[in-house]
Amino acid sequence: MAKQRRVHVCRECGAEHPTWTGRCPACRAWATVSEVAQPSAPRGRAGSGGAQPLADVGTDPALPVPVGVDEVDRVLGGGLTSGSVTLLAGEPGIGKSTLTLQVAASVAGAGGTVVLVAGEEAPSQVAARADRLGPVPPSLLVVDDCSVDAIAQVMRTERPQLLVVDSIQTVHDPAVDSIQGSVAQVKATAARLVAEAKRTGVSVLLIGHVTKEGAIAGPRVLEHVVDTVLQFDGERHGQLRFLRAVKHRFGPTDEVGIFDMTGSGLQAVPDPSTRYLQDRRPGLAGSVVVPVLSGRRPVLVEIQALAVEVGGRPGQITAKGVDGRRAALLAAVLASRAGYRVSGFDVFLSAVGGVTVDEPAADLGLTLAMASAIDGQPVAPDVVLCGEVGLGGEIRSVPLLEQRLQESYRLGFRTALAPGSAPDGPTGLRVLRHGDVPAALAAVPQHAPPSPDAEAVGNGGRSR
């Protein structure tokens, strides 16, 4: 029989305290701490004792097994490792159940047994959704008993290749004196499932709901218990969804999977640049294209700026999909290094398509978008802009520029404005290297007016 130790645990936040206290020092909730017995577990892993040369220790032979949903395998660095525990975290309604059901059907379709623990929905609802998504393989099993003992039992008897738990907030352990979904329950049941996964070799995929604040019981407290944490997010009203690994014990954390939520489930978006640029109107003042990185994949995104002259009051900057403070900084650079009267305008900046552009590599694009909007002078449509901008107005180098230039060329762009240190791009792409913002402004190819006698528009913002 395992030795028990008595500890005092807060049922709100799961913090452990050596003695009873009326108010939890960790989360400040009143009357939530009570004494519970826990099996005493040594901290750290039990080892063989003796020291041995590190070079003689074999590396873990476990190789990832593809789940068969390409964008998921891309993020996982190949697939799921046997005995690993992966948490899929995201806001309610973002598509976690849909994604995991597609993964489950794919693994089962390839001949593996998959057990789906349905805690959020009745098995009949899960079946209806599965039907909508495609053929339902016979080795996809469903259970609706969410006690951790029942789940552990299924792992041992069925030995599935994959166990999906939807969601960890619905699993309970009767031995833990706390309500279902509380932090104490979530922590205890997840720890138990992790132990069971290691013991049986079953890969486990746990779904966890987070709110915008990330504060609700669950995923945040699990991050160090599981091997991998995948974050699933996107625009609530848009169709695009992004899957990222925020922690990954077995592979990279810098890949991003991109999906479209369609009427028949999540579809991969293998060529996001084309998707982002499909509705672009060339010749629009304030519109520029920047190659940014989505994971390790360069993606072309349109940045739009709109400048509306204000009279008598200082203008404001409003940003969507772009960091507002970064935009303010770049506006200040444009004003003081290139002489633009930015404060005379309300400037609106947006990354098109619901993407978030938070890379310094987009600085030059944001700066020239603002300048183009203020001047009313469109940038030529086949130009991409890439470079970080410093407070001195200098243009700095950015990582993976060569790949960004390749992707720009592939999508039909023929001129790139880039930092002085930029490599040569692919043949056919003209790389214009410039040291600072004023030089880039002078060199940026402008959109040719539709007819030779069309009137030149704007120039109102430039004071020198």
Binding site for ligand TYD (CB under 6 A): 90, 92-98, 129, 132, 261, 263-265
Q: Which of 81, 97, 185, 287 binds Mg ion (CB under 5 A)?
A: 97
Q: The tokens of 112 are what?
A: 């593996």
Nearer to ligand TYD, 97 or 273 (CB): 97
The burial class, CB within 10 Å (0-12 / 13-18 / 19+), for 288 is buried
Q: How far is the CB of 269 from ligand TYD (least distance, A)?
A: 15
Do 119 and 144 contact (CB within 8 A), yes or no? Answer: yes
Q: Which stretch binds Mg ion (CB under 5 A): 60-68, 112-120, 126-134, 416-424?
A: 112-120
Q: The tokens of 33 are what?
A: 């701490």
375 binds, among ligand TYD, Mg ion, none (CB under 5 to 8 A by kind): none
Nearer to ligand TYD, 162 or 293 (CB): 162
Q: How far is the CB of 208 from ligand TYD (least distance, A)?
A: 10
Q: At what angle do helices 363-375 and 324-338 cross, to 10 degrees?
A: 60
Q: How far is the CB of 360 from ligand TYD (least distance, A)?
A: 32
Q: Show contacts with Mg ion in window 120-159 (CB under 5 A).
A: 120
Interatomic CA distance for residues 101 and 264, integer angstroms: 12
Distance of CA 202 to the CA centre of its chain: 26
Q: How far is the CB of 133 from ligand TYD (least distance, A)?
A: 6
Nearer to ligand TYD, 266 or 330 (CB): 266
Nearer to Mg ion, 100 or 273 (CB): 100
Tell me the residue length of the chain. Answer: 464
203 binds, among Mg ion, ligand TYD, none (CB under 5 to 8 A by kind): none
19 binds, among ligand TYD, Mg ion, none (CB under 5 to 8 A by kind): none
Nearer to Mg ion, 120 or 394 (CB): 120
90 binds, among Mg ion, ligand TYD, none (CB under 5 to 8 A by kind): ligand TYD
Closest alpha carbon to 295 in 260, 234, 360, 244: 244
Q: How far is the CB of 238 from ligand TYD (least distance, A)?
A: 12
Q: How far is the CB of 183 from Mg ion (least distance, A)?
A: 20
Q: How far is the CB of 131 from ligand TYD (least distance, A)?
A: 10
54 Cβ neighbours under 8 A, 6+ residues apart: none
Interatomic CA distance for residues 354 and 376, integer angstroms: 25
264 binds, among Mg ion, ligand TYD, none (CB under 5 to 8 A by kind): ligand TYD
Contacts 24+ apart (CB under 8 A), 426-431: 429/405, 431/405
Residue 347 dihedral angles phi and psi, to the nearest 5°: -110, 125
Residue least distant from Mg ion (Cβ): 97
DSSP state at residue 455: P
Q: Which stretch binds Mg ion (CB under 5 A): 89-97, 236-244, 353-361, 389-397?
A: 89-97
Radius of gyration of the chain (CA): 27
Q: Does residue 372 belong to the site contacting Mg ion (CB under 5 A)?
A: no
Nearer to Mg ion, 232 or 340 (CB): 232
Q: How far is the CB of 230 from ligand TYD (least distance, A)?
A: 12
Do 45 and 52 contact (CB within 8 A), yes or no? Answer: no
Q: The tokens of 427 are what?
A: 């043949």
Q: Which stretch binds Mg ion (CB under 5 A): 97-105, 136-144, 394-402, 423-431?
A: 97-105
Q: Is the bond leading into 167 cis (omega within 30 degrees of zero)?
A: yes
Q: How far is the CB of 297 from ligand TYD (least distance, A)?
A: 24
Q: The tokens of 134 are what?
A: 């495609």
End-to-end CA distance of the chain: 83
Residue 349 corresponds to which amino acid? L
Give the interface with Mg ion as residue ranges (CB under 5 A): 97, 120
